Amino acid sequence: MLRVGIIGATGYSGLELVRLLLDHPLAKVVYATSRSYAGKELNEVFPGLKGHFNLRCEEFKLEKCVEACDFVFVALPHGLSEETVPKLIKAGKKVVDIGSDFRLDDLSQYETWYKRKANRPSDLKPIYGLAELNGDKVRGAQLVANPGCYPSATILGLAPLMDKNLIERQGIIVDAKTGVSGSGRSLSLSSHFSEVTENIKAYKVAVHQHTPEIEQELSKLGSGEKVVMNITTHLIPINRGILATCYGKLKEKKTTKELIDLYRAFYLEEPFVQVMPEGVMLGTREVSGSNSCMIGLKVDERINTVIVLSVIDNLGKGAAGQAIQNMNLMSGFEETLGLPRVGLIP
Amino acid sequence: MLRVGIIGATGYSGLELVRLLLDHPLAKVVYATSRSYAGKELNEVFPGLKGHFNLRCEEFKLEKCVEACDFVFVALPHGLSEETVPKLIKAGKKVVDIGSDFRLDDLSQYETWYKRKANRPSDLKPIYGLAELNGDKVRGAQLVANPGCYPSATILGLAPLMDKNLIERQGIIVDAKTGVSGSGRSLSLSSHFSEVTENIKAYKVAVHQHTPEIEQELSKLGSGEKVVMNITTHLIPINRGILATCYGKLKEKKTTKELIDLYRAFYLEEPFVQVMPEGVMLGTREVSGSNSCMIGLKVDERINTVIVLSVIDNLGKGAAGQAIQNMNLMSGFEETLGLPRVGLIP
Amino acid sequence: MLRVGIIGATGYSGLELVRLLLDHPLAKVVYATSRSYAGKELNEVFPGLKGHFNLRCEEFKLEKCVEACDFVFVALPHGLSEETVPKLIKAGKKVVDIGSDFRLDDLSQYETWYKRKANRPSDLKPIYGLAELNGDKVRGAQLVANPGCYPSATILGLAPLMDKNLIERQGIIVDAKTGVSGSGRSLSLSSHFSEVTENIKAYKVAVHQHTPEIEQELSKLGSGEKVVMNITTHLIPINRGILATCYGKLKEKKTTKELIDLYRAFYLEEPFVQVMPEGVMLGTREVSGSNSCMIGLKVDERINTVIVLSVIDNLGKGAAGQAIQNMNLMSGFEETLGLPRVGLIP
Amino acid sequence: MLRVGIIGATGYSGLELVRLLLDHPLAKVVYATSRSYAGKELNEVFPGLKGHFNLRCEEFKLEKCVEACDFVFVALPHGLSEETVPKLIKAGKKVVDIGSDFRLDDLSQYETWYKRKANRPSDLKPIYGLAELNGDKVRGAQLVANPGCYPSATILGLAPLMDKNLIERQGIIVDAKTGVSGSGRSLSLSSHFSEVTENIKAYKVAVHQHTPEIEQELSKLGSGEKVVMNITTHLIPINRGILATCYGKLKEKKTTKELIDLYRAFYLEEPFVQVMPEGVMLGTREVSGSNSCMIGLKVDERINTVIVLSVIDNLGKGAAGQAIQNMNLMSGFEETLGLPRVGLIP
């Protein structure tokens, strides 16, 4: 039984890790830290765990963590993982970092997009943990950078097109919509119920920090030519779910059917990506609570543009689910172990 | 592997059975019927199943059902189970009926509350399938009547008080709130999004058809004296969840702590019922997607009344989850097999 | 044109006052204070006002307020009005206080229910501003204590029964449901979107601070015998709206029709209270954005109890709307001036 | 007092007309028809009107309508206005048609996009009723075609750019999000609460029938060169509100500030259009219940694209509000009469 630690267990990603690992046959959460709730039982913080799971939240202590755990998930605010993770790596632990600190190859991008100076030790070799594209590298990795929620949906949505060089790499537009749990459990007016409900609102227009992450990974596919794109993010009054509506200018004419066939071939072996038949409407709820990504697409021949719809659960495939998928691969387990594939409907 | 059939698979209870049984280690859905969608794949009706589960919906044919299945769930509109179930019983199948046709002992009550004449064969001996109270009978049953959603929450919420005769049996008040999925997938103005959202509304005030079911089961506990109560039901703009707020007049003074201790003792062995410590706030989302029931309580000493809060997922413990719990018992499986205990939060 | 000031203009009640007074023909907001946003334009805080209303938020200064305003609304957190209001009264201003500091006659109740010591000058004679019961006194008042949201719905719902002494005064049960805007604009985990949506939750069970206010006002009606009741409050994922479901034990048999007739007669002259015909379902959205209260009722003869359903908009009749209704009366205007009577549907 | 009739009064647009006209000082609803509710009082259909407005719904009779009304709003399903409106026009009535039957100049487009053959009498000269662009023509019109909800938001959002020929006319992308009330009050699975809530879903991808309407009106601006664009529509679990996120490829470099200045100048005289300062986040709720349109924009210099955010209330500026704005102009009233400018927040 893999002994698992969660650094930052009382945020929503942390809780989702706990929930999903409860039913994992080969892993068990044995160590959990929280700055805000240190000393409290996790099931006091989340009463739904009462009777089913118990563990006292601690303040993070390196020694204790190293002793207690074989595998560590780090779910800390941006900028904090960078300090903690290298120590765990040095101590020989396998780590999935759910934050952004290890996602970007070019450290200068952190200043541009995150407004902070990166401070990553140069000997760390994090692997970008989108298993559908990077599975082999993940298997051998000691440190995996778990992709962001928008990047997960967007990259999976566009990868087959990039791989075959079918769309223009300059000017891709991604109009993304997210539920509120993606903003986490920290209080802010923009997550205050009365400000969010009965509202649709754009935010971080043309400045979202996930932009370079998406560009970086898409640029690696196909021709390798640099991708420059826009992501405009919108807050929607639901709890879980991301829909990325991606608009790509086709280089040559393609029919909807041709592209669907291409996507099916590309994702044929992937248990967590499903490509929908033409005309099937996709909703975020289809994947709510699961680790699945569902993709639909349509060519608008009038403007020679392909519209790709990609949905995930931002806490599932967009965070904790994907982290466990990575853990499975890094630990030599079956990739799908303990991960729900079907969403909670209705 | 138990071969399972679902009669009425394209309603929300049917879909929840499919979803939950996907991960059941000893049972497998092999037969599914639907009047509206006969001929269609289940995963056309629910695209979220695509890639994960497939079965073509059929029109119900007795012979086919008998041949294909060891165990049958019947999820038909009120009044239709009565026709179908006796044939399945006669053919030797074990059946859990999720509708109301077999819940009431006194058939005359169907005329009073359901405005229809019951037509149940007298040789049928359905067991009321609330396993926490009736587990032993369920184990030996061939036909189990699955409790209604409001009765599940209410009876579990009040059983310990009735068992010890601590509250007046005349005049119990249950103010119940439900999510909309309890109204099913059939179209009606009262389930139309724009009529429901941003709204709180009472319905079926003092005439809800679940009243006699609750009275019947509560009356069997403790002194056996007949219970007469009011349930006032409210529609709330959420998908899943019931909160039954129950008000009972205490016969003698009791403290909150005394009653919590009593409840804990009563439900000590029950894996799906959790009693909260004093002061813990209960929300329906704690149990969303699970088969759990969570109970909290408080004595209002100023009016010598105990207020019991009982939450379930109406599609889980209130329908499909409980049905599978009954299947487990009837089949000699472990009671908790394949049933989530922790809700999807957030 | 009445020159109006709002002390605490950037909470939801303050904003609702601004919105409603925009269309008031005889009053105009000329002064607005805010501790959090002093120095900012109100339409920076609420962009929806841009182009339609502008006023810079100031820190409260007594002299400035006295000079600028004829009439002052005070919307401050509990305990702060007590300090500010006496100065305004002394300066000869008419004041409606939207908080709780002037609602209770018996100051010792503040310690019991609000856990704070009241410090109200003994020469202040606040009038409880429920115009339907107290209209004459409000007309002549200099200081009006605006009723709480739950009390507004509950007292209007039960007043005719109390007036005629038709129900037991001990043990009235009020099961109340509220939208989230009632908790205001201050951040708290219990108003965080992801904690509230898809959830139904009870709170402050048997300890809600509105209890003594309701008891106080109901006790004044009919026989004058003291009322002792329970209010159990529930948080519902909507923005605006309160539904108070009130359960009263009838002293003698009454039919639903008899009671509806009684209610109609009682509220015959009231422009903002509507009594529904038997069987009409009431939802909070019917009154959303308006100053109306709608009441329906039903006798459950099986337990000889009347169930009264009373709905208001907590920011309308439950706060800002009612405050303007009081302003109208105190200023000799027509009672209904500037107040919407029909809710925003859907 | 203008005597107003509403043909199709029991849909959401009809109800919104009733609600808004209740407070109109120069117009009064005197005639209302409904196929589904003929014979019922409007306030039986919408209990919120009880005590405040009453009128019996009738079946449409031409003579009765002509006799009773000076002005008629027609809110019928697509294809039905075409039959009714010409008779009213012939009888000399002024008409605003809220449906789509009179919006398109090129009748062949109805076959392409609506899948029906248009049958409009050639002597009818409907004016497209977007007053901000067409005000003068509307003033003199007898028949006004009220714009669709998406076109209202989109055309207002893009008009200044088209007018100055600043963006490419081929390949404009509009990613639009709408609340559910836009789908009306007719029952369908796609408006069923449990299918919509906690869900984000695209629909009518690249085939929305509002496409030619937007293209037609935008093409008239600036150079007059034909516009070809894509609108991808998404259903969001809110009641009211549209956000159109419009992506236009800039022909030459422009800064955000330059474009905001341009927009401000363009809409300087318009009471219902507000242009936001740089960086102000726009949400649909800012305009909920009002007739306002709010516009924000941002240039993404990395891909030389301007992103325009335009929000309206689909039942306000997108339907009934705009219809009344047109009525005001056609009747020589002040344009803003009876129309709320500030939304209901929260």
Model pLDDT for residues B316-336, shown as the tens digit of each residue: 999 999 999 999 999 999 999
Residue B46: what pLDDT?
95
For residue A287, the chain D residue with the least C-alpha distance is D199
Q: How far apart are the first and last CA of chain B?
A: 34
Q: In this complex, is the C-beta atom of D293 within 8 Å of any C-beta atom belonging to chain C?
A: no
In a domain, B54, yes or no: yes
**Contact state of D187 with B187 under an 8 Å Cβ cutoff:** yes
Q: Over chain B, what is the mean pLDDT?
A: 97
pLDDT, average across residues C325-335 = 98
pLDDT band at B49 (very low <50, low <70, confident <90, very high): very high
Which whole-number Å values give the CA distances from C67 to B31, B237, C41, in the listed order? 80, 47, 20
Residue D187: list chain B partners with CB under 8 A.
187-189, 192
pLDDT, average across residues B246-268 = 98
Q: How many CB atoms lie within 10 A of CB A214?
A: 27
Strand order in the sheet with B228-235: B201-203, B228-235, B170-178, B242-249, B305-312, B293-300, B273-275
pLDDT band at A206 (very low <50, low <70, confident <90, very high): very high
- DSSP letter for each residue of A51-99: TT---B-B---HHHHHHH-SEEEE---TTTHHHHHHHHHHTT-EEEE-S
pLDDT in tens, D63-83: 999 999 999 999 998 899 999
Residue B42: what pLDDT?
97
Ramachandran area for residue A51 (φ above 0: left; ψ -120 to 50: alpha; else beta): left
Is it the case that residue C281 has pLDDT exceeding 90? no
**Contact state of A196 with C193 under an 8 Å Cβ cutoff:** yes
Residues 6+ apart with CB under 8 A from C89: C95, C124, C142, C143
In a domain, D335, yes or no: no
Facing residue for D194 by CB, picked from B12, B189, B198:
B12
Catalytic, out of C57, C65, C69, C149 = C149
Phi, psi of A113 (to 5 degrees): -105, -30
Distance from C-alpha of D219 to C-alpha of D225, rounded to nearest angstrom? 6
**Contact state of C192 with A189 under an 8 Å Cβ cutoff:** no
Query: Residue written as tokens 């060891």?
Result: B70
If asked whether residues A157 and A286 sit together in one domain, one would say yes
Residue C78: what pLDDT?
87
Q: What's the token pair of residue D197?
A: 């809530």
Distance from C-alpha of C79 to C-alpha of A280, rounded to nearest angstrom? 57
Is the CB of residue D241 less than 8 Å from the CB of residue D179?
Answer: yes
Distance from C-alpha of B6 to C-alpha of B24, rounded to nearest angstrom? 15
Q: Over chain D, what is the mean pLDDT?
A: 97
For residue D12, the chain B residue with the least C-alpha distance is B194
pLDDT in tens, C8-38: 999 999 999 999 999 999 999 999 999 999 9
If asked whether residues B22 and B127 sit together in one domain, one would say yes
pLDDT, average across residues C119-142 = 97
**Contact state of C239 with A185 under an 8 Å Cβ cutoff:** no
Is it the case that residue B282 has pLDDT exceeding 90? no
Residue D282: what pLDDT?
84
Distance from C-alpha of B18 to C-alpha of B33, rounded to nearest angstrom? 12
Residue D276: list chain C partners with CB under 8 A.
47, 50
Is the CB of residue B295 less than 8 Å from the CB of residue B301?
Answer: no
Q: How many CB atoms lie within 10 A of CB B122?
A: 6
Helix (H, G, I), strand (E, B) or coil at A178: strand
Catalytic, out of A57, A65, A69, A149 = A149
Distance from C-alpha of A151 to C-alpha of A216, rounded to nearest angstrom? 10
Give the residue among B96, B126, B100 at the shortest CA–CA distance from B115.
Answer: B100
Is the CB of residue A104 less than 8 Å from the CB of residue A212?
Answer: yes
Q: What's the token pair of residue A226?
A: 């640099």
If asked whether residues A131 and A12 sit together in one domain, one would say yes
- DSSP letter for each residue of B308-333: EEEEE-TTIIIIIHHHHHHHHHHTT-
Which whole-number Å values give the CA distances from B153 to A315, B97, B138, B244, D340, in the listed order? 29, 18, 19, 6, 45
pLDDT band at B35 (very low <50, low <70, confident <90, very high): very high
Is the CB of residue B195 less than 8 Å from the CB of residue B237?
Answer: no
Distance from C-alpha of A101 to C-alpha of A120, rounded to nearest angstrom? 8
Distance from C-alpha of D250 to C-alpha of D59, rounded to nearest angstrom? 52
In a domain, A239, yes or no: yes
Does the active-site annotation cover C246? Answer: no
pLDDT, average across residues D147-156 = 98
Residue A78: what pLDDT?
87
Q: What angle do CA D36, D42, D45 make, to 5 degrees?
A: 65
Facing residue for A243 by CB, picked from D200, D298, D302:
D200
pLDDT, average across residues A252-263 = 98
CA dihedral D329, D118, D149, D198 (to 10 degrees): 160
Residue A52: what pLDDT?
95
Q: Which chains touch D (3 or more CB pairs under 8 A)?
A: A, B, C
Domain count, chain C: 2
- Maximum C-alpha span of chain C: 62
In a domain, C346, yes or no: no
Which whole-number Å values give the CA distances from A225 to A170, B196, D111, D150, in the listed order? 10, 50, 43, 37
pLDDT in tens, B187-211: 999 999 999 999 999 999 999 999 9
Residue A31: what pLDDT?
98
In a domain, D345, yes or no: no
Which whole-number Å values give the CA distances from A43 to A9, A29, B242, B256, D146, in the listed order? 11, 14, 21, 21, 56
Q: In this complex, is the C-beta atom of A173 within 8 Å of any C-beta atom belonging to chain D?
A: yes
Is the CB of residue A249 less than 8 Å from the CB of residue A304?
Answer: yes
Give the residue among D93, D113, D90 at the shortest CA–CA distance from D103.
Answer: D113
A78 or B19, greater pLDDT: B19
In a domain, A310, yes or no: yes
Helix (H, G, I), strand (E, B) or coil at D208: coil
DSSP run (H or E) holding A177: strand A170-178
Is the CB of residue D126 less than 8 Å from the CB of residue D105?
Answer: no
Q: How far is C233 from chain D (nearest CA, A)?
A: 21
Range of the domain at D168: 150-314
Helix (H, G, I), strand (E, B) or coil at C214: helix
Interface of C with B in 116-145 (CB under 8 A): none
Facing residue for A173 by CB, picked from D173, D179, D298:
D173
Is the CB of residue A198 less than 8 Å from the CB of residue C239?
Answer: yes
Residue B281: what pLDDT?
75
If asked whether residues B127 and B168 sit together in one domain, one would say no
Strand partners, B97: B74, B145
In a domain, A343, yes or no: no
Is it the case that residue A294 has pLDDT exceeding 90? yes
pLDDT, average across residues D315-325 = 98
CA dihedral A319, A322, A326, A328 (to 10 degrees): 120
Query: Residue written as tokens 């909260």?
Result: B276
Q: How far is C243 from chain B (nearest CA, A)?
A: 7
Give the residue among C6, C8, C65 at the shortest CA–CA distance from C35.
Answer: C8
If asked whether residues C173 and C289 sit together in one domain, one would say yes
If asked whether residues C279 and C325 sit together in one domain, one would say no
Alpha carbon B214 to chain centroid, angstroms: 12
Alpha carbon D290 to chain centroid, angstroms: 12
Please state the ipTM of this predicted complex: 0.97
If asked whether residues D259 and D111 sit together in one domain, one would say no
DSSP run (H or E) holding A136: helix A131-139
Interface of C with B in 21-40 (CB under 8 A): none
Residue D78: what pLDDT?
87
Ramachandran area for residue C35 (φ above 0: left; ψ -120 to 50: alpha; else beta): alpha
If asked whether residues A223 and A112 sit together in one domain, one would say no
Q: Could you tell me the CATH number of the domain that includes residue C280?
A: 3.30.360.10
Facing residue for B175 by CB, picked from C171, C175, C201:
C175
In a domain, D337, yes or no: no
If asked whether residues B154 and B299 sit together in one domain, one would say yes
Q: In this complex, is the C-beta atom of C219 within 8 Å of any C-beta atom belonging to chain B?
A: no
* Inter-residue long-range contacts of C117-126, CB under 8 Å, 24+ positions, other chains counted: C118/C82, C119/C82, C119/C83, C120/C82, C121/C86, C124/C85, C124/C86, C124/C89, C126/C97, C126/C102
If asked whether residues A9 and A69 sit together in one domain, one would say yes
Distance from C-alpha of C289 to C-alpha of C157, rounded to nearest angstrom? 19
**Active site positions of B, annotated:** 149
pLDDT, average across residues A217-244 = 98
Residue C280: list chain D partners with CB under 8 A.
47
If asked whether residues C163 and C280 sit together in one domain, one would say yes
Q: What's the token pair of residue D272?
A: 């219902």
Facing residue for D239 by CB, picked from B183, B188, B197:
B197
Per DSSP, which regions of B256-304 are E strands?
A: 273-275, 293-300
Q: Could you tell me the CATH number of the domain that includes residue B118?
A: 3.40.50.720
Residue A259: what pLDDT?
98
Q: How far is C227 from chain D (nearest CA, A)?
A: 31
If asked whether residues D191 and D94 sit together in one domain, one would say no
Q: How far is A206 from chain B (nearest CA, A)?
A: 28
Is it the case that residue A281 has pLDDT exceeding 80? no
Inter-chain contacts counted by CB atoms under 8 A, chains A and D: 159
Q: How far is A130 from chain C (nearest CA, A)?
A: 26
Q: How far apart are the first and last CA of chain A?
A: 34
pLDDT band at D281 (very low <50, low <70, confident <90, very high): confident
